[in-house]
A = this chain, B = another copy of it.
């Protein structure tokens, strides 16, 4: 058992504060999942992420490329197209994402029930997003 040193999330200068849940932004985790089984083209990513717009997809992919999570490869063939693929770093996120999905699978009912109970007990008053 390697006693790893956890990052100090409480230090204001710790990059953990900036980074960790970029994964938690609206689309990054889903894009990683989309790329799990191999490279995909821009247009292929648009389909499963039904609600995303081209702009946001492009932005998110750029940010992921910047952070070394995906690679962008242009094929100047005919018609020219572009492929996005996971880097090893991006792929390493899969275990984390899976852990999050497992947590959801296990505990989401409790959370939903808690939320229901809470809002029904203060039916009128509170307004928490």
List residues of chain A with CB under 8 Å of any chain B CB: 4-7, 9-10, 12, 15-16, 19-21, 23-25, 29-30, 33, 48-51, 59, 62-63, 65-68, 89, 92-93, 95-96, 98-108, 110-115, 117-119, 126, 128-129
- Collect the chain B residues with CB atoms within 8 Å of residue A16's CB: 101, 104, 108
| A116 vs chain B, min Cβ distance (A) | 10
Please state if A20 and B92 are interface contacts (CB–CB under 8 Å).
no
Whether A101 touches B51, Cβ cut-off 8 Å, given contacts A24-B21, A107-B92, A128-B66, is: no
Contact assessment for A12 and B51 in the assembled complex, using a CB-CB cutoff below 8 Å: yes
Q: A6-B105, A12-B51, A107-B89 are in contact. Are A100 and B20 (CB under 8 A)?
A: yes
Q: Which residue of B lies closest to A114 (CB)?
A: B68
Give 28 pairs: A residue, B residue, CB < 8 Å, sorted on A.
A4-B102, A4-B106, A5-B105, A7-B101, A7-B105, A9-B30, A10-B48, A10-B49, A10-B50, A15-B112, A19-B111, A20-B104, A21-B24, A21-B25, A21-B29, A59-B128, A62-B126, A66-B118, A67-B111, A67-B114, A67-B115, A67-B118, A68-B110, A68-B114, A68-B117, A92-B106, A93-B103, A96-B99
